[in-house]
């Protein structure tokens, strides 16, 4: 009988970056920029993010604007959303 796969609830930045398939540097930049929240657990050198919260946040990005900053709203084009009046294939 095989064991059920265990999914982590609290993850460090390296694990979170791996699960998001991004570099640790990108993860850090996203946290600094407010795209991702600060760590839920921050005890000195121990920092952990609540993975279900990150997963839910990222799953609902298209539902409502995440940032009030117009620059951050327009940067969504970088993440695959097509900008109005722009043909990405022509770029």
At 53, the pLDDT band (50, 70, 90 cuts) reads very high
**Amino acid 39: pLDDT:** 96
- CA 89 vs CA 82, 83, 86: distances in Å: 11, 12, 9
Task: Indicate the pLDDT class of residue 6, thresholds 50, 70 and 90.
Answer: confident
- Cα 13 to Cα 23: distance, rounded to the nearest angstrom: 10
pLDDT digits (tens, 9 = 90+) for 27-52: 999 999 999 999 999 999 999 999 99
pLDDT tier at 81, thresholds 50, 70, 90: low
Which structure tokens are listed for 9? 């609830």
């Amino acid at each position: 009988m095989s064991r059920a796969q265990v999914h982590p609830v609290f993850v460090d930045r390296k694990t979170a970056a791996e699960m998001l398939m991004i570099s640790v540097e990108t993860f850090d930049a996203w946290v600094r920029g407010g795209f991702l929240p600060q760590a839920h657990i921050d005890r000195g050198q121990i920092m952990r993010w609540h993975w279900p919260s990150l997963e839910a946040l990222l799953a609902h990005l298209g539902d409502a604007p995440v940032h009030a900053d117009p620059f951050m709203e327009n940067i969504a084009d970088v993440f695959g959303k097509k900008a109005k009046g722009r043909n990405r294939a022509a770029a």
